[in-house]
């Protein structure tokens, strides 16, 4: 077997197997400016955006229940993150060198989706949009992402073992025939919509303490970057102009640089918040990278990406369960999210945030191990999946128990107050009933005639 080196870098082409393998370090070196630009632009833009938010009165006022900051804090931090990401993506088109220059950078449909998400979040931060309008904006982003055909490929990889190849006919009537490819397309489009709406709102729900979403997303970005590099190293690329290898690495580096550039201003005590603009954007970028893992139908890698993104998913599932048990609608707010529970248990925001960073790191390690096992050994990853599920279920059980205990305590206090009010009402009723009977003659007041 003979290896030859391409003229524009050190990407390795196997003479026996068509396709190119991209060494991880060469990609990192080639795309390093993306990280630096995202970090620098976000670091410089954040104070400017904060000043604009303060002058415009776009601030978040604490309520001592769910919003635990001590004083009003500016919104619109997500706008600075967006500037860092978009400028770094644009810079990737002319600053990359070596192997990275062979690959397509970012599909235009992904940028359209980013703009739709940022506009939706920005409108909610400024004008407090109706939740239905927010979902509509997320669906626009999902529709733009569907143009890249990633969702259908993901659905195809999951459904081929069940229904067969895309060419097989599943229904026919006369000259009309419905092939599996059409079924996979519509299922894949639905998958994209579910991922985008779920990922964006999951990130939004976890954004409840200073620096929590920003720092945990940075950890998530590291995991997604590692998986992206492993895929570039092991998965042969036949057409660099159509492959999503470059997109995965660029978005991971841009996401990492932007979050690290914003974190100094967002960490406790925060000077500025992400707002819905930022939280929805971070969730969207994570979802895009995770979905791109299924470019060739590798469902196991998508699951690994979801494990890396496990903390927001875990908190969302627990919120659904918790509100279902309490008989409340899903969109109702409460103060029993994971970060609220840890804040009350540990006493400080910093301890709670660092604890959740550690949980995010555990999810990241599990997801990376799952992907690495699959990519490097081509074996099934049941052991890692089982470990991830056990970790997920363990934290879920603890969180549900603590939340239920808090609910019971509230119910007991309400019951005690009701009893006290009932006793007080009983005493009042007894006292008011005395004058209804005629008092003894000796106690009747003297009247002058």
- Which pLDDT score, from 0 to 100, does residue 99 have? 74
- Which pLDDT score, from 0 to 100, does residue 382 have? 67
Q: Quick check: is 436 in a domain?
A: no
Q: Quick check: is 102 in a domain?
A: yes
Beta strand spans in 158-299 (E): 169-173, 176-179
Give the number of other CB atoms < 10 A from CB of residue 241: 9
Beta strand spans in 81-121 (E): none
Q: Is residue 56 pLDDT above 70, yes or no?
A: yes
Q: Quick check: is 354 in a domain?
A: no
Q: Is the dihedral of CA 245, 247, 248, 250 positive or negative?
A: positive
- DSSP secondary structure of 192-226: HHHHHHHHHHHHHHH--STTHHHHHHHHHHHHHHH
Domains in the chain, number: 1
Q: Is the dihedral of CA 41, 42, 46, 52 positive or negative?
A: positive
Helices 212-234 & 299-308, crossing angle to 10 degrees?
Answer: 150
- Could you tell me if residue 347 is left (phi over 0), alpha (psi between -120 and 50 degrees) or otherwise beta? left
**Secondary structure of residue 70 in the 3-state scheme:** coil
Give the number of other CB atoms < 10 A from CB of residue 219: 23
- Helical (H) or strand (E) element with 43: helix 24-56
- Which pLDDT score, from 0 to 100, does residue 444 have? 37
Q: Residues 127-156: pLDDT tens digits?
A: 888 888 889 999 999 988 887 766 677 677
Rounded to an integer, what distance in angstroms lies between the CA atom of residue 319 and that of residue 313? 10
Q: Quick check: is 280 in a domain?
A: yes
State the residue for tokens 């776009």: 58
Q: Residues 179-224: pLDDT tens digits?
A: 667 777 888 888 889 999 999 999 999 998 899 999 999 999 999 9
- Look at the chain and count its residues: 449
**Angle at alpha carbon of residue 115, lines to 114 and 116, rounded to 5°:** 90
Rounded to an integer, what distance in angstroms lies between the CA atom of residue 122 and that of residue 210? 19
Q: Is residue 90 pLDDT above 60, yes or no?
A: yes
- Among the residue ranges 125-134, 392-401, 403-412, the one predicted with the least confidence is 403-412
- Among the residue ranges 31-45, 234-248, 257-271, 393-407, the one predicted with the least confidence is 393-407
Beta strand spans in 223-354 (E): none
Range of the structural domain that residue 170 is part of? 3-298
**Angle at alpha carbon of residue 95, lines to 150 and 253, rounded to 5°:** 50
Residue 162 binned pLDDT confidence (cut-offs 50, 70, 90): low
Higher pLDDT, 209 or 178: 209
State the residue for tokens 């109702």: 332
Q: Quick check: is 264 in a domain?
A: yes
Print burial letters for 386-421: b (CB count within 10 Å at least 16), e (below 16): ebbeebbeebbeebeebbeebeeeeeeeeeeeeeee
Among 9-13, 218-222, 426-430, top mean pLDDT goes to: 218-222
Q: Which two tokens stand for residue 194?
A: 């579910």
Helices 275-292 & 131-146, crossing angle to 10 degrees?
Answer: 30
- Which pLDDT score, from 0 to 100, does residue 17 have? 58
Among 163-177, 223-237, 351-365, top mean pLDDT goes to: 351-365
User: 102: which DSSP letter?
Assistant: G
- Which pLDDT score, from 0 to 100, does residue 161 have? 66
Q: Is residue 249 pLDDT above 70, yes or no?
A: yes
pTM of the shown model: 0.82
Q: Quick check: is 109 in a domain?
A: yes
CA dist list (Å): 193 to 143, 182, 367: 7, 17, 23
Q: Quick check: is 432 in a domain?
A: no
Q: Quick check: is 177 in a domain?
A: yes
């Amino acid at each position: 077997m003979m290896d030859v080196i391409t003229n524009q870098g050190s990407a390795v082409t196997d003479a026996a197997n068509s396709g190119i393998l991209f060494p991880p370090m060469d990609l990192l070196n080639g795309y390093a400016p993306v990280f630096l630009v995202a970090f620098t632009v976000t670091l410089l833009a954040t104070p400017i955006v904060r000043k604009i938010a303060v002058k415009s009165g776009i601030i978040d006022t604490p309520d001592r229940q769910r919003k635990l900051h001590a004083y009003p804090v500016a919104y619109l931090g997500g706008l600075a993150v967006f500037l860092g990401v978009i400028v770094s993506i644009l810079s990737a088109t002319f600053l990359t060198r070596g192997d990275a220059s062979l690959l397509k950078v970012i599909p235009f449909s992904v940028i359209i989706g980013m703009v739709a998400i940022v506009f939706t979040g920005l409108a909610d931060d400024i004008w407090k949009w109706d939740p239905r309008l927010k979902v509509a904006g997320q669906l626009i982003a999902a529709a733009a992402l569907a143009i890249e055909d990633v969702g259908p490929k993901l659905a195809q990889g999951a459904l081929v073992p069940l229904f067969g190849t895309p060419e097989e006919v599943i229904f026919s009537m006369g000259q009309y025939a419905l092939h599996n490819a059409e079924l996979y397309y519509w299922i894949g489009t639905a998958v994209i919509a579910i991922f985008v709406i779920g990922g964006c709102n999951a990130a939004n729900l976890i954004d409840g303490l200073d620096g929590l979403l920003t720092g945990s997303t940075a950890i998530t970005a590291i995991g997604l970057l590692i998986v992206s590099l492993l895929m570039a190293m092991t998965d042969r690329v036949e057409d660099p102009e159509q492959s999503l290898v470059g997109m995965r690495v660029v978005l991971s580096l841009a996401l990492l640089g932007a979050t690290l550039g914003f974190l100094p201003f967002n960490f406790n005590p925060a000077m500025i918040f992400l707002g819905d603009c930022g939280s929805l954007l971070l969730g969207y970028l994570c979802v895009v990278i995770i979905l791109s893992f299924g470019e060739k139908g590798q469902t196991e890698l998508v699951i690994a990406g979801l494990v890396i993104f496990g903390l927001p998913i875990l908190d969302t599932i627990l919120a659904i369960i918790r509100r279902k048990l309490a008989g409340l609608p899903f969109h109702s707010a409460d103060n029993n999210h994971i970060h609220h529970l840890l804040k009350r248990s540990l006493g400080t925001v910093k301890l709670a945030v660092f604890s959740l960073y550690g949980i995010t790191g555990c999810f990241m390690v599990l997801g990376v191990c799952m992907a690495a096992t699959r990519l490097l050994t081509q074996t099934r990853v049941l052991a890692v999946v089982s470990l991830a599920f056990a970790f997920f279920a363990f934290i879920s059980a603890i969180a549900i128990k603590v939340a239920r205990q808090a609910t019971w305590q509230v119910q007991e206090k309400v019951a005690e107050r009701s009893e006290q009010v009932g006793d007080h009402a009983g005493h009042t009723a007894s006292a008011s009933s005395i004058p209804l009977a005629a008092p003894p003659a000796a106690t009747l007041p003297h009247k002058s005639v």
